[in-house]
Amino acid sequence: MLRNRRVLTYFILEILPSFLLGLLVFISILLMFQALRLTEFLLVHGIRWTSIVKIMGYMSISFLPMLLPMSLLFAVLMTYNRFSQDSEIVALKSAGVGTTSLIMPAFLFAVVISILSAQTSYYLAPWGNRQFEILITQLGNTKAAASIKEGTFSESFFDLVVYANKVDSKTGLLKDLFIYDEKQPDAPLTIIAPEGQIIPDDSMPGHSVLLRLFKGQIHRKTESHTVINFDSYDITLNDPIKLEERKKSPGSMSLEELNRAQEDPKITKEQLTDYHLEFHKRTALAAACLVFALLGVAFGMSTDRRSGKSSGFVLAVGFIILYWIVYLSFEGMVRSGQLTPMIGLWIPNALFLLLGLFNLRKAWD
């Protein structure tokens, strides 16, 4: 009993650093893929470094449900592969340690990470997604000029259609403006001005901006066409819906919110499929931790010593890429209606479980 406990402690202490390293590496890789987008926020939108750090933090949190299983596979496969290459597995078996005792550390570690992954998927990641959505909307409205593209009609600017020939997103200055306001359908407004400026409201970031126009005209279409000339004209633009009250996307809903949304009698079939897909995606990714632990042990213990220690890294990366190819393929089939979420999103786990069990027979023997 004491010997098995020492083996358990020894293995887990070897797995843990590799797991943390893998998690850090995978987060860094995914953030690198977002580098162009983050650079655009910094240079084009002119937002502060503190906001960039928040964005990176929220993105990292939202990545966790898929990164935890990946890091676990990386850690288990690397650890057991190294033990196999160094003949420690053989030595432990010769000392009377059974295969079950060798597998148990990875399994127990996987159970802990699986529970952590489930809690992250159901609560922490949705919170991160929600905070990311709110922050991006706040930045988009606060740096509202960045949402107006030069030489094109922009329809996402506080429910106005805006055209500007020149846009300075840092200062908010606009040249050759055309604005169409249809908030009152019976009396739509058309505003033309050679120059204007967007001034954010620091007291209500993301909710309100001041659009100041210079030396232009207001055309109001009623029963009689009305034209008003002005030297300076201020338009206060408010977002009537608080950002926190905007409808959440499925990825931003907690487990309870998903369950309530699925029970809503007003939802469409497509929405119900999205909610089912989101629920099974989170649950399947949490369960993937157990599958990946089995896979890591099976292939880590059975690798040929001649393949070298780098084979563990190659296998881990290969399995991760293969899993996501299979997973995304079946997710696409679910979204297209060919499979139900309950079946389609669990097939990748089933396939990799069979692969792990098949290869584990070699290690067991």
pLDDT in tens, 213-233: 999 999 887 777 788 899 998
Please give the C-alpha separations between residue 245 and each of 23, 293, 345, in angstroms, as whole numbers.
33, 40, 31
Q: Say if strands 153-157 and 173-181 run parallel, antiparallel, or are unpaired.
A: unpaired
Q: What is the pLDDT of residue 138?
A: 66
Indicate whether 51 and 133 sit together in one domain. yes
DSSP strands (E only) in the chain: 153-157, 160-168, 173-181, 189-200, 208-221, 225-238
Asked if 167 and 314 sit in the same domain, the reply is: no
- What is the value of pTM for the model shown? 0.73
Structural domain includes residue 99: yes
What are the beta bridge partners of residue 168?
173
Structure tokens, 289: 């931790």
Same-domain status, 165 and 212:
yes
Are 112 and 50 contained in the same domain? yes
Which pLDDT score, from 0 to 100, does residue 245 have?
A: 46
Q: Do 57 and 107 lie in a common domain?
A: yes
In a domain, 88, yes or no: yes
324 within a domain of the structure (yes/no) = yes
- CB of 340 closer than 8 Å to CB of 355: no
Whether residue 264 is found in the same domain as residue 295: yes
Looking at the domain assignment, is residue 35 inside a domain? Answer: yes
Query: In the prediction, which pLDDT does 243 show?
Result: 45
Range(s) of the domain holding residue 300: 2-141+249-364
Q: Is 154 helix (H, G, I), strand (E, B) or coil?
A: strand
The answer to the question of residue 147 being in a domain is no
Same domain, 208 and 277: no
Closest CA to 316 of 149, 91, 78: 78
The Cα angle at residue 362 between residues 358 and 365, in degrees rounded to 5: 125
List pLDDT tens digits, range 242-282: 444 456 788 888 889 888 888 888 888 888 888 999 999 99
For residue 149, is it within any domain?
Answer: no
Domain boundary among 183, 206, 238: 238
| 164/209 same-domain check | yes
pLDDT of 206 above 60: no
pLDDT more than 90, % of the chain: 36
Q: Based on the structure, what is the number of domains in the chain?
A: 2
Go through 309-319 and write b for each residue having 16 or more CB atoms within 10 A of its CB, e for each that does not: eebbeebbeeb
The 10 Å CB-count burial string (b at 16+, else e) for 90-129 is eebeeeebebebbbbbbeebbeebbebbbebbbebbbebb
Is the pLDDT assigned to residue 336 strictly greater than 60? yes
Same domain, 323 and 216: no
* Position with higher pLDDT, 160 vs 29: 29
Mean pLDDT of 18-38: 88
* pLDDT of 195: 92
Structural domain ending residue among the three candidates 219, 238, 257: 238
- Whether residues 115 and 177 share a domain: the answer is no
Domain boundary residue, one of 181, 209, 238: 238
308 phi and psi angles, rounded to 5 deg: 85, 165
Same domain, yes or no: 110 and 178: no
More confident site: 188 or 118: 118
Mean pLDDT of the chain: 83
Q: Domain check: are 133 and 163 in the same one?
A: no
Q: Is residue 70 part of a domain?
A: yes
Instruction: List, for residues 268-321, the tens digit of each pLDDT value.
Output: 888 888 899 999 999 999 999 999 999 999 888 876 666 666 777 888 999 999
Residue 303: name the closest of 22, 73, 77, 71 by CA.
Answer: 77
In a domain, 211, yes or no: yes
CA-to-CA distance for 106 and 260, rounded, in angstroms?
Answer: 36
pLDDT at residue 152 greater than cutoff 80: yes
pLDDT band at 77 (very low <50, low <70, confident <90, very high): very high
For residue 266, which amino acid is it?
A: K
Neighbours of 335 (CB within 10 A): 15
Structure tokens at 199: 């001034």
Q: Quick one: average pLDDT of 51-61?
A: 87
